[in-house]
Amino acid sequence: MVILMICSICPHKCKATRELHTGEGICKAGTAPKIARISPHYWEEPCISGDKGSGAIFFSGCTMKCIYCQNYEISAENRGVEITPEKLSEEYKKLEEQGVHNIDLISATQYLPAILKSFDIYKPNIPIVYNCGGYERIETLRSLEGIVDIYLPDFKYSDNSLGEEYSGVEEYKEVAAKALAEMLRQTGKLKINDDGIAQSGVLVRHLILPGHTKNSIGVLNILKENFDSNITVSLMGQYIPHGKALNHPKLNRKLTKREYQKVLDHLLALELDGYAQELESADDSYIPNWDYK
Ligand code: SF4
């Protein structure tokens, strides 16, 4: 395992010193992967979770600092337990033996050197899903070519000022559009088997934020203009305030039906392929129990 690095893995390019257990970069991650939970997970899109669940591995820490993150305990507070690449590869095998549809790496970018090592030790025979915030460097994504089968990125903002204010990232829309193009180059359009389970390709998510339908419409326009029928979209309306958003004047409430319908109508008018998650799915019960096991 890499025990000391000067890090430029993500678009922040901190050039920060990272040691095994500590890091001075924006993500604060050391080089040893930290895990909050490993288990079958049933709350991704139907083509990812199916009826057997995705083999979810929730990594602690994140390169984005979203103030509304529903996983803020693990993403912002970096709570979790460290794991070696050897142990991680054993966890892939265990999940596979449980019959999950895929290995679902959630917010993994900050630990990529150790994760690549884990796949050198054992590459599962089920699809590998890379579940991320969309704020990725192309050079870093290239190291995943041939390993990742399904990219599951967010496309959060068309308004870069919101990316800066809510997630602490610069030039989000340009960075995310280039990253998405690279993901599509590697894996192509989403392919689903006869049982309705994704096997390869890209499924891009967008979470509608309260008071920001214009941002959402801008995101859908970017996806249409740049990727059109090659992209499959998952439009999410299940926002609920968490973390710092609980005290934010705009983000401290759920979406209204009118806001959700306005963005959904735009998705339909653009004739983009995809899923729409209902407003009724805005519920705390979808958040895993962080037992650090
Ligand atoms: S992974 Fe962490 S330390 Fe490395 S560039 Fe990104 S935020 Fe900085």
Task: Break the chain into its structural domains and give their ranges.
Answer: 28-286
| Residue 270 DSSP class | H
Residue 25: CB within 6 Å of ligand 1?
A: yes
Average pLDDT for 132-136: 98
Please choose, from the candidates 110, 175, 107, 187, the residue with its C-alpha nearest in 3D space to the C-alpha of residue 142: 187
Give pLDDT, residue 75.
Answer: 81
Using most ligand atoms within 8 A of CB, pick from 7, 20, 66, 132 the residue to mutate for ligand 1: 7
Q: How far is CA 59 from CA 80, 85, 193, 233, in A?
A: 8, 13, 28, 24
Contact residues for 267 (Cβ-Cβ < 8 A; gap 6+): 220, 233, 235, 274, 276
Please choose, from the candidates 83, 117, 193, 110, the residue with its C-alpha nearest in 3D space to the C-alpha of residue 149: 193
Interval between CA 26 and ligand 1 midpoint (Å): 6
Q: Packing angle between helix 213-227 and helix 257-270, nearest 10 degrees?
A: 10
Give pLDDT, residue 1.
Answer: 65
Using most ligand atoms within 8 A of CB, pick from 4, 6, 10 the residue to mutate for ligand 1: 10
Interval between CA 167 and ligand 1 midpoint (Å): 14
pLDDT band at residue 235, thresholds of 50, 70 and 90? Answer: very high
53 HSE (CA, 13 A, CB side): 14
Residue 54: CB within 6 Å of ligand 1?
A: no
d(CA 245, CA 210): 11
Q: Ligand 1, atom 3: nearest CA belongs to which residue?
A: 25
Contact residues for 35 (Cβ-Cβ < 8 A; gap 6+): 57, 58, 59, 60, 80, 81, 82, 83, 292
Q: For 15-64, write each residue's pLDDT tens digit.
A: 999 999 999 999 999 999 999 999 999 989 999 999 999 999 999 999 99
Q: What is the dihedral sign for C-alpha 46, 71, 211, 168?
A: negative
| Residue 11 DSSP class | T
Instruction: Write the burial class of residue 66 (CB in 10 Å: 0-12 exposed, 13-18 middle, 19+ buried).
Output: buried
Residue 63: CB within 6 Å of ligand 1?
A: yes
Q: Which CATH architecture has domain 28-286?
A: Alpha-Beta Barrel (3.20)
pLDDT band at residue 266, thresholds of 50, 70 and 90? Answer: very high
| pLDDT over 90 (residue 71) | no
Residue 233: CB within 6 Å of ligand 1?
A: no
Q: Which atom of ligand 1 is nearest to the CA of 16?
A: 3
Q: How far is CA 288 from CA 41, 102, 162, in A?
A: 8, 18, 27
Tokens of 233: 């979209």
Instruction: List beta partners, residue 203.
Output: 232
Give pLDDT, residue 292.
Answer: 54
- The answer to whether residues 251 and 224 touch, using CB atoms and an 8 Å cutoff, is no
- The answer to whether residues 186 and 196 touch, using CB atoms and an 8 Å cutoff, is no
Interval between CA 109 and ligand 1 midpoint (Å): 9
Q: What is the dihedral of CA 180, 181, 187, 193, to 10 degrees?
A: 60
Interval between CA 84 and ligand 1 midpoint (Å): 19
Average pLDDT for 272-287: 71
Percent of the chain scoring above 70 in pLDDT: 94
Give pLDDT, residue 152.
Answer: 98
d(CA 116, CA 92): 13
Sequence-ordered alpha helix ranges (H) in the chain: 46-49, 72-75, 85-97, 112-121, 138-142, 160-167, 172-187, 213-227, 257-270
Give pLDDT, residue 290.
Answer: 43
Residue 23: CB within 6 Å of ligand 1?
A: yes
Residue 134: CB within 6 Å of ligand 1?
A: no
Regarding pTM above 0.75, the answer is yes
Interval between CA 6 and ligand 1 midpoint (Å): 9
